[in-house]
Structure 1
Amino acid sequence: MSPVLDCRDADQLLPALRRARQAIGRGELIVMPTDTVYGVAADAFSAAAVARLLAAKGRGRQSPPPVLVSGPATMRALVAEVPAEVDRLVERFWPGGLTIVLPAQPSLTWDLGETHGTVAVRMPDDRFALELLEECGPLAVSSANKTGRPAALQVDAAVDMLGDSVAVYLDGGLVSTGVSSTIVDATGLVGDERRPVAVLREGAVSRAELREVLGDLLEPDPADPDEDDDA
């Protein structure tokens, strides 16, 4: 059985970081706490590790995982361009529950799946996750569950679903929010023909909060007939 290490225990914290870092370096999977839900993580630059992550979840290449980063500087190294509006989103909501899709840096040699030249990036608001990202670099991370089942809010639920497909489980207790991140597509802000930002998944950050930052650059909610571009 894969080990479960308690990150809340000061005596286990450094060994947990070391075991997690070693597993990532070998191309294996780990489960880690974040501020939203537990995530299953792999080296973002190892195609074999990412394929292992997708297989563990029961997903295909058509569902590429987001990438967690330790801060905006790392994001800038992964994406082709950061529009001013994205800078404002990052300033307001990072670290936190907002995942931003942007065109990927074309010089990067990685394979996250069928991304169509984009990457989804997020900086989590969790001390342990950020320490791990500082040590390991960007990680491909998806919710720690089998596809179609609820995301794990405690490590035991992740163990039950993913079992020995994961090398190391890191226990941070009950996650702080239990709500998945909001995902926005900001690729339309890059290039000459600018398009509004689209909400791909609603979660920890609300549309109202996004509109406070983006104004009319946020795509109207198709479910709300009263929300329009202008009147």
Structure 2
Amino acid sequence: MSQVYKVDAQTSAADIALAVDAAISAVKAGGLAVIPTDTSYAVICDAFNNGAITKLRMAKKQNSDIALPIAAGSIETIRGVAKFSTIANDLASALWPGPLTLLTVAQDSLSWNIGQAGSALAVRVPHHEVAQAVLAGVGPTVMTGAQSMGQAAVQTVEQAQAALSDFVDVYLDGGPLSARISTVIDATTDHVRMVRSGELSLAQIRAVLPSVIDASAS
């Protein structure tokens, strides 16, 4: 049976801390947690636990060949799993925490089962206090939308529950979210491209990197 914890603006700091600890414990035990982020609700699991990753894919009705993104509570943690070019580092330093997903390259020493996407690894640090607290407690984490494969991003915990049901051990309810998506930037080469438009506009990206190519419509 899943547990649901309130973590909205009306929830006390003590109760939020208990909820965060419950989510951290669930993930460390190989389970799944749903957390609010700066865009929509996300489901997370330990990035190095193959059983947890399999469970997450089952919950989302997702094939094993689809690459899973990685999130963390800080840039420093992301640097431990991803190789950052100077350009990627500049973007991350300026726009993280925030609704920006960077496509980078995984560190050579890593062994995990997050799927194949060529040499690209999608990484993100969300700008949400509860999400950051949970992610800081578990380290590098698979973080993907809390909805079935192919469905729209979810705005409420109730929508996440309808999609993922008791596959998820802990749900953190932060109230209604925007259900927008992060902007995706491919920084795997020197020719940096915006491959998906989202919460961050092209103008905001170009304020940091004027040379970024808009490939979001292609």
TM-score normalised per structure 2: 0.92
Is structure 2 residue 193 aligned with structure 1 residue 219? no
Q: Out of 146-155 and 206-215, give the one that drifted further.
A: 206-215
Deviation at 1:111, TM superposition (A): 1.5
Partner Cα separation in structure 2 for residue 89 and residue 182 of structure 1: 12
- Show the counterpart of 2:199: 204
Native 8 Å contact 2:153 2:180 kept in 1: no
In the alignment, structure 1 residue 7 sits paired with structure 2 residue 14: no
Letter in structure 2 aligned against 1:214: L
Conserved 8 A contact 2:195-2:214: no
Equivalent in the alignment of 2:43: 40
Partner residue in 2 for 1:84: 86
The answer for the alignment partner of 1:65 in structure 2 is 68
CA RMSD between the two structures = 1.7
Look up the equivalent residue of 2:98 and give its one-letter code.
G
Counterpart for residue 192 of structure 1: none
Deviations 1:100-146 (A, max 9, x none): 01110010121211133332111100001111111111110101001
Which runs of no fewer than 5 residues in structure 1 stay unpaired? 190-195, 225-231
**In structure 1, the residue corresponding to 2:213 is in which secondary structure?**
coil
Partner of 1:160: 162
C-alpha change, 1:220 and 1:16, in structure 2 (3 Å) is: closer
* C-alpha distance in structure 2 between counterparts of 1:18 and 1:115, whole Å: 32
Q: How far off its partner does 1:172 sit?
A: 0.8
| Aligned amino acid, residue 92 of structure 1 | A
- Indicate the residue corresponding to 1:124 in structure 2: 126
* 1:169-208 correspondence to structure 2 within 5 Å: 169-175=171-177, 177-189=178-190, 196-208=191-203
Mapped partners of 1:42, 1:222: distance in 2: 29
Q: How many percent of aligned residue pairs carry the same amino acid?
A: 34
Q: What is the DSSP-based 3-state SS (H/G/I as helix, E as strand, rest coil) of the residue aligned with 2:160?
A: helix
TM-superposed CA distance for 1:220, in Å, is 4.1
Give the SS at the match of 1:169.
Answer: strand
SS in structure 2 at match of 1:215: coil
Aligned letter for 2:182? S
Distance 1:19 1:35, change over 3 A: same
CA deviations over 1:149-200 (Å, ceiling 9, x no partner): 221111111011111111111111122x4311011111113xxxxxx11222
Partner Cα separation in structure 2 for residue 26 and residue 20 of structure 1: 10
Corresponding position of 1:19: 22
**Based on CA coordinates, which of the two structures has the bigger radius of gyration?**
1
Q: Write the deviation string for residues 31-88 of structure 1: whole angstroms up to 9, x where unpaired.
A: 00001100010001112211221221111123222111111111211113x2221122
Q: Which has the higher strand share?
A: 2
Matches within 5 A, 1:90-101: 90-101=92-103
Question: 2: distance between equivalents of 1:125 and 1:64?
Answer: 23
TM-score under structure 1 length normalisation: 0.87
Q: Report the Cα distance in structure 1 between the residues aligned to 2:133 and 2:217, rounded to whole angstroms.
A: 39
One-letter amino acid matched to 2:96? W
Distance 2:45 2:216 in 1: 35
